[in-house]
Each structure stands twice: as structure tokens, then as C-alpha cells.
């Protein structure tokens, strides 16, 4: 075959192939423009975990108000244990009534009259009840302290004696309440007397009552494998009521300093991975895979994926992640 004919044959084969390549390139380019010019991925094919982390989004000026940006900062995360308990005055399980003063009569007799009622606020010296002994005139038994009447086991005609329980009256300084809770047997070595306790109750969901552990009971419940603890909780306005359900948090170790991001900047993707968004120019944003740890006070500990000082999205991370799934058309 002559050289001229060979060249003609090559041209007939190459030209259609070249035309096909150009057509495919134009089709890919057209689809990319349809998907929106503000989203790009490095690599090709389906969006895997790796390619998601390399995704970038460019926001228009009208979209920027939907997010907040700030530097990745350090935060002292405390090592905490959480649990459920209840507010109490006197722990009947262990017959422990150190918050209350039992008001017995100075000598035996029969109650003539009850004066103070359950729940009354009394001052030291205020009359509580009167008794009579034999033919002697009735005399008044006064409150030995300022507080609230927390128990009344008295009625006219009832025979009472010094030290014989139940006492006719009990008075408590209600500015201190108990929080009695249970902790897992496996966690019990982490708890110690004197540790600070933060308590919340449903009646005041936005309030925190401060206290400290004052007793760790010596036995383990054989059926639940839990240990009972007790904390003295400050309640200066007498807002807590006995029987209230309480949630408590105890810091059991010193704080751990670590980089952190506000929770609204952290996104749990559909595949379970955790991501965040970083930027250099506050205009183009890159998605990062991250590893998270502790959570406290609206902050998330970042174990891997971010560095202190980097600019990151601190609010609106879900907004950017949603744009990957449904890019805006404007």
C-alpha cells in the first residue's frame, strides 16, 4: 500500500475518534455548568468519603449571612459523669436525717395543741406544740432553730416521750437540699466526697443548682449494680421540692485542654462521618473529615482534622453540607 493511501486511511479512523472525544468533553462541561459553578470536587466518579472531604463551595454575598465564621480555638473540656437522682430532705433508706432537727418534748406527756403546720417557716423560739404532764399546766415546746416545718407527727391527746421516734415535729434549714442519685458500679471509683455537682430539675430547665458530694453509701445494689451517692445542694430561695427528678453532672477529673468547634459547626453526614468546613478567604469553603470527642457547653472536642487558628464555620455547617446534596440554582 502506498504512503498516500495509508495516510488517507489513518485520517478516516482518527477524525471520528477525535470528534467523539470532543463531543463527550462538551457533554461533561455542559453537565458541570448545569450543576452550578459554585461547587467543585477534586477527582472523578461517585462522591466517596474522601472526595466529600475535598469538596469546596463558593458562596455568593447573599448566601454568606447564613453562616458564621471564627477561628478554631482551644477549650478546657472537663471529664464528667452524668446520672439521674431526686431531691430529698431525709433519706429513709439509710435512716439518715441530718438535714432535719427532730423536736422532742423535754419530758413525757400528752399533746394539748399543735401550733405550727407542715411547711410553715418558723424562727428560733417560735411555738410548735404544747403538752401537759399529769395535772401540771400545759407548756409550750419551741423551735430550736430557724427553718421550715418538714414533718408533723402530732395530734391532740397523743402521748409523746423524749427520744421516742417519730418526733412530734421536725425542722430543717431548707436553704440546703439533698440530691440523692445512683451511679454505675463501674463508675463508682471516680466519685469522691467533696466533688462539685451541678443539678438540674424539670421545674427549672434553664437553671443549675450547685452542690458537692457529701456521702457515698457503702453498699452496691445487687440487682442494678449501682451505688448511691448524696450531695448537698444550695437552694437559698427554697425552690426545690422533695421528690423532684434531678439530673446531675460531676466533674471527676481535671479539665483537658483541646481544640474545639461550636456544635453548630460540626455536621454528622448521612454515612455517619463527621465533617466541618474551613476557609481561607471567607468566600470559598472546603469540607474536612474530622474526628470528634467530648461535648460540653455547646462545644465539640476535635481530635483530628482541624488545627488551632484555622478559620472554620462555627454556625451553619449543615447549610453548606446540604448544598452538596441539592446545589442552589440561583
Cell numbers for 24, please give them: 463527550
Rounded to the nearest integer, the mean pLDDT of the chain is 83
Partners of 266 in the beta sheet? none
Render pLDDT for 130-182 as a digit per residue (tens, 0 to 9).
999 888 899 999 999 998 898 899 999 999 999 999 999 999 888 888 999 99
CA distance 259 to 263: 13
CA distance 154 to 168: 5
Lowest mean pLDDT among 60-64, 93-97, 120-124, 281-285: 93-97
Render pLDDT for 17-36 as a digit per residue (tens, 0 to 9).
444 444 444 444 444 444 44
Task: Find the distance separating the first CA and the last CA of the chain, reported in whole Å.
Answer: 60
Mean per-residue pLDDT, 111-116: 96
**pLDDT of amino acid 80:** 83
CA distance 268 to 94: 46
**pLDDT of amino acid 115:** 97
**pLDDT of amino acid 34:** 41
Reported confidence tier of residue 95, pLDDT bands at 50, 70, 90: low
Using alpha carbons, select from 73, 69, 76 the residue that is nearest to residue 309.
Answer: 73
**pLDDT of amino acid 36:** 41
Amino acid at each position: 500500500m502506498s504512503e498516500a493511501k495509508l495516510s488517507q486511511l489513518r485520517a478516516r479512523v482518527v477524525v471520528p475518534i477525535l470528534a467523539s472525544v470532543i463531543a463527550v468533553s462538551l457533554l461533561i462541561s455542559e453537565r458541570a455548568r448545569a450543576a452550578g459553578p459554585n461547587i467543585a470536587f477534586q477527582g472523578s466518579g461517585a462522591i466517596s468519603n474522601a472526595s466529600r472531604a475535598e469538596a469546596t463551595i463558593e458562596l455568593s454575598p447573599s448566601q454568606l449571612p447564613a453562616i458564621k465564621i471564627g477561628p478554631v480555638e482551644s477549650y478546657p473540656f472537663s471529664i464528667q459523669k452524668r446520672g439521674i437522682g431526686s431531691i430529698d430532705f431525709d433519706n429513709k433508706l439509710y435512716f439518715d436525717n441530718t438535714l432535719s432537727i427532730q423536736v422532742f418534748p423535754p419530758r413525757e406527756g400528752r399533746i394539748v395543741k399543735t401550733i405550727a403546720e407542715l411547711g410553715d417557716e418558723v424562727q428560733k423560739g417560735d411555738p410548735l406544740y404544747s403538752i401537759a404532764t399529769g395535772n401540771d399546766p400545759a407548756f409550750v415546746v419551741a423551735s430550736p432553730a430557724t427553718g421550715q416545718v418538714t414533718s408533723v407527727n402530732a395530734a391532740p391527746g397523743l402521748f409523746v416521750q423524749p427520744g421516742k421516734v417519730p418526733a412530734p415535729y421536725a425542722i430543717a434549714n431548707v436553704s440546703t437540699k439533698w440530691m440523692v442519685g445512683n451511679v454505675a458500679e463501674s463508675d463508682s471509683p471516680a466519685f469522691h466526697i467533696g466533688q462539685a455537682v451541678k443539678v438540674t430539675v424539670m421545674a427549672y430547665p434553664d437553671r443549675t443548682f450547685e452542690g458537692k458530694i457529701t456521702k457515698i453509701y457503702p453498699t452496691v445494689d445487687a440487682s442494678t449494680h449501682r451505688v448511691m451517692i448524696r450531695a448537698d445542694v444550695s437552694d437559698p430561695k427554697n425552690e426545690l421540692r422533695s421528690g423532684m427528678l434531678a439530673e446531675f453532672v460531676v466533674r471527676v477529673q481535671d479539665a483537658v485542654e483541646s481544640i474545639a468547634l461550636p456544635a453548630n459547626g460540626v455536621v454528622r453526614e448521612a454515612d455517619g462521618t463527621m465533617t466541618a468546613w474551613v476557609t481561607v478567604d471567607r468566600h470559598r469553603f472546603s469540607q474536612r473529615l474530622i474526628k470528634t470527642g467530648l461535648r460540653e457547653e455547646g462545644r465539640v472536642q476535635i481530635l483530628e482534622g482541624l488545627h488551632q487558628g484555622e478559620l472554620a464555620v462555627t454556625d451553619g455547617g449543615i447549610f453548606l453540607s446540604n448544598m452538596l446534596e441539592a446545589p442552589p440554582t440561583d
